[in-house]
Structure 1
Amino acid sequence: MISTAIPINEDFRLEALKSLDILDTKTEKEFDDITALANYICDTKVALISLVDKDRQWFKSTHGISDKICQTPRNNSLCSHAILNPETPLIIADTREDQRFNKDIICLENTQVVFYAGFPLVDKEGFALGTLCVMDDKPRELSEKQIESLNALARQVIILFELNKKNNDLEKMQSKLKKKNQALREFARVISHDLKMPLANIVTTTDLLKLLLDDKLDEESLEYFEYIKASSFSMSGYISDVLAHYESETLVNNKPEKFKLNELLQEIVDLLSIKPDFTIHFPEDDPTLNCNKSALKQIFFNLIGNSIKYNDKEQIVVTIDAFRDDKFDYFRITDNGMGIPNDKLDTIFELFTTADTVDRSGNKGNGIGLSTVKKLVEKLGGTIKVTSEEKKYTTFDFSIKKCC
């Protein structure tokens, strides 16, 4: 029985080992390649990536023994001695002649461990978490090149551990963000339901009071009533936009369907209740698309709606073009509206960011619509960009990935 070896910083070392979340994980090719290479470089029978836990040594990768053997007791472990000196590998030419280990026969599966070389796996804090080790059933020596190669492989193991840890942390963060987004969507749904009805009641009550008090209201009082009504409509629109933003993720889960682009655009024009002062040019080549119709409809609805709202011309003109290649469908929407200031072009798609301009009716935007558009476009595998010149035009170019 080998005497138990405990490093002086054992508690901190174990804490560092646990923080990697690597113990008792499945085998991975990246680690198996390293043990296979270590065996090849040293021409030995067995190579292990061994992590020294509190009462055991656990093998992340084995080469030369059955993969069913994943751990052995720590008190019969050569690796527990190798981690005592993180700066230097433990190389034992013949364990039978070493007074520390010659009291008992040391075996691993069917291999008697005569030769052992353990290279400490040292993290960035200086803790030896385990070893990359090679073993054989006969005495051996390692050349300087072999020692240098195994030291390099040991460093690669630590790099893989750190990458795994970062990936695990990212997955956990994504899981938390997903739960938070779900909670936000539910919150937005509840807010929409609970606030929209009272706002509708305010609008209705305001109109009713104006009728009842018509002959008793002066011009200033009438302006207050209009302000209440306008504010209620503004708040209702804001709530609708928040809800649309958080529900956009559910839109991208809809299955692809075939449809004519111009038919979709006509549906949007009908929904927007276009007035005579508006002219829209559909693509001459009316393509048949096979994609997420609901998501694309929401994108066009927001962009065309913005082209109408943020337009100071007597005659509003919007032109829509469509192009395609083997992988993407491309769309362009150009209007003759107010344009976007140059210093706002880089931030226009950020949530709650606006161009600090008022629309055709004198209302200021809430910075949600374009953020929702960008989110949908990216979920559909595409990109979006904007070009603009103040007082002249704004053009949005976006793409979506074709469905197979």
Structure 2
Amino acid sequence: MIAPEFPVDEQQRLTAVHSYHLLDTLPEKDFDNITSLTANICEVPISLVTLLDADRNFLKSHYGVPFNESPRNISFCGHAILDEADIFIVEDARTDSRFKDNPLVKDMNAIFYAGVRLINSDGYPLGTLCVFDTKPRTLNKSQKKALVGMAYQVVNLFEARKRNRTLLFVQQELKDRNEELKNFAGVVSHDMKMPLANMIITSDMLRTKYGNLLDVQGREYLDYIKQSSFTLSEYITGLLEHYESDKTASLNDEIFDSHDLLEEIIELLNINIDCEINLPEENMEMQTNKVALEQIVLNLVGNSLKYNDKKKIKIDIECSEEGGFYLFSIADNGMGIAKNNIEHIFELFATTGKLDRYGKKGNGIGLSTVKKLITKLGGEIEVFSELGKGTTFKFSIKKN
């Protein structure tokens, strides 16, 4: 017997083998199907998918033998990976100086061998797809072609597993980083709210105590500080709501009346302008995440109030249930949204560029949070709008 030599680039080859993370893994149906089919096509009792490690031959799939590894120094595959022919064939191992005293030949009666190298995309032979028989023989042309074709499919499976593993790793890494960003945003936002509140209070105190000592421009500066602090505070509140929307969407369901919910929202909005809000005629009992739904409707109705340039604001709210979903429609007679902005309005930080009725520019957080909550609740949202005439938001949430 002659032990197989090592390739000149053995270290790089081993690195390639280990990069697939297939050594010492459990059998898989995809590989077992290939060895079973290969054995039947070649009419042999044994078919293997092997990966040649530093000192062993690991059998990723072993059809016809009860073990899943053997020493590398007695392996046929150790010789096969060194041969650049399409198929490495040993018709009778008993007469071949490389194998005649091999334990596999003496103890297992491994007489015939045919193996195709499993070459990865970088050109390294990882192992083989091989067959054994207990008698001398040959393979016909179609069997050889099938063996080469099956080996190609094994490599495809290796590469697919590797890509999938990489994607899962990247996905988990992105998930971890996103969680870190969410935690960071939450901590920073919470920490900023108190200083902002202090700025607002301080500006009021300065105006009260020293206002008579300031000229018009000085008082305007104080107003500017206070207004900027309010704007930043609203921005931070929006960020907190956005990053905490996962928690909001996971809250327990409640049973409540639709009219009670909508009336609570109108009360929260503390409307002090000429506004007509028409509620659904039918009062419907609902069972869903009340907190999340309240945040959604509060945001949409709040936008209908803010982005409205009419002397009298009109908002129509409709609610119904159909096919396991609660359906909502919120329509207004406001400014409307340009067609080229509609497809982007649910993106985080995306704005239409328009100022609201109070001269403020939106921060592009609210509608993104709305979309995120609705998606988490198993629903969808769409918008219909015409500049100068108004906007209608229609959304659904899954009924529980």
Per the TM superposition, whether the score is higher than 0.5 is yes
Q: Is the Cα contact below 8 Å between 1:191 and 1:239 reproduced in 2?
A: no
Letter in 2 for 1:279: E
Cα 1:194–1:156 shift into 2, 3 Å? same
Paired with 2:359 and 2:289, the residues of 1 have a C-alpha distance of 34
Report Cα offsets for 1:139-179 as digits up to 9, x if no partner.
23222222222222222222222222222122212222222
Range 394-403 or range 124-133, more displaced: 394-403
Q: Is the Cα contact below 8 Å between 2:94 and 2:105 reproduced in 1?
A: no
| Structure 2 residue aligned with 1:79 | 77
Report Cα offsets for 1:28-60 as digits up to 9, x if no partner.
222222222222222222222111112222122
TM-score, length-scaled by structure 2: 0.91
| Structure 2 residue aligned with 1:23 | 23
Report Cα offsets for 1:50-97 as digits up to 9, x if no partner.
11112222122222223xx32222111111222224561212222222
| Structure 2 residue aligned with 1:207 | 204
| Structure 1 residue aligned with 2:252 | 255
Q: Is the Cα contact below 8 Å between 1:323 and 1:329 reproduced in 2?
A: yes
Q: Is the Cα contact below 8 Å between 1:7 and 1:84 reproduced in 2?
A: yes
Q: Is the Cα contact below 8 Å between 2:99 and 2:105 reproduced in 1?
A: no
Q: Select 1:228's aligned residue among 225, 240, 253.
A: 225
Letter in 2 for 1:164: R
| Structure 2 residue aligned with 1:35 | 35
Question: For 1:338, what is the secondary structure of its paired residue?
Answer: coil
The answer to whether the aligner puts 1:56 opposite 2:56 as a matched pair is yes
| Structure 1 residue aligned with 2:163 | 166
Question: For 1:275, what is the secondary structure of its paired residue?
Answer: coil
Q: Is the Cα contact below 8 Å between 2:258 and 2:285 reproduced in 1?
A: yes
The answer to whether the aligner puts 1:193 opposite 2:190 as a matched pair is yes
Q: Is the Cα contact below 8 Å between 1:310 and 1:338 reproduced in 2?
A: yes
| Structure 1 residue aligned with 2:301 | 304
| Structure 1 residue aligned with 2:4 | 4
| Structure 1 residue aligned with 2:95 | 97
The answer to whether the aligner puts 1:47 opposite 2:44 as a matched pair is no
Q: Select 2:330's aligned residue among 326, 330, 333.
A: 333
The answer to whether the aligner puts 1:394 opposite 2:388 as a matched pair is no
Q: Is the Cα contact below 8 Å between 1:282 and 1:320 reproduced in 2?
A: yes
Paired with 1:291 and 1:91, the residues of 2 have a C-alpha distance of 68
Q: Is the Cα contact below 8 Å between 1:87 and 1:120 reproduced in 2?
A: no
Letter in 2 for 1:115: F
Q: Select 1:377's aligned residue among 374, 377, 381.
A: 374
Cα 1:40–1:354 shift into 2, 3 Å? same
| Structure 2 residue aligned with 1:360 | 357
| Structure 1 residue aligned with 2:68 | 70
Cα 1:300–1:212 shift into 2, 3 Å? same
Letter in 1 for 2:64: G
Question: For 1:106, what is the secondary structure of its paired residue?
Answer: helix
**Superposition deviation, residue 228 in structure 1:** 0.8
Q: Is the Cα contact below 8 Å between 1:86 and 1:126 reproduced in 2?
A: no
| Structure 1 residue aligned with 2:86 | 88
Report Cα offsets for 1:191-240 as digits up to 9, x if no partner.
22221111111111111211123333333222222111110001111111
Question: For 1:204, what is the secondary structure of its paired residue?
Answer: helix
Paired with 1:97 and 1:330, the residues of 2 have a C-alpha distance of 80
Question: For 2:384, what is the secondary structure of its paired residue?
Answer: strand
Range 232-241 or range 182-191, more displaced: 182-191
**Superposition deviation, residue 107 in structure 1:** 5.5
Cα 1:272–1:239 shift into 2, 3 Å? same
Report Cα offsets for 1:324-348 as digits up to 9, x if no partner.
4435443332222111222222222
Identity %: 47
Q: Is the Cα contact below 8 Å between 1:82 and 1:131 reproduced in 2?
A: yes
| Structure 2 unmatched ranges of 5 or more | none
Letter in 2 for 1:205: T
Q: Select 2:151's aligned residue among 151, 154, 159.
A: 154
Letter in 1 for 2:80: A
Question: For 1:382, what is the secondary structure of its paired residue?
Answer: coil
Q: Is the Cα contact below 8 Å between 2:2 and 2:97 reproduced in 1?
A: no
Report Cα offsets for 1:294-346 as digits up to 9, x if no partner.
33333222222222222212222222334544354433322221112222222
Q: Is the Cα contact below 8 Å between 1:2 and 1:77 reproduced in 2?
A: no
Q: Is the Cα contact below 8 Å between 1:86 and 1:127 reproduced in 2?
A: no
| Structure 1 unmatched ranges of 5 or more | none
Cα 1:267–1:104 shift into 2, 3 Å? same
Cα 1:209–1:172 shift into 2, 3 Å? same
**Superposition deviation, residue 2 in structure 1:** 4.3
Range 181-190 or range 203-212, more displaced: 181-190
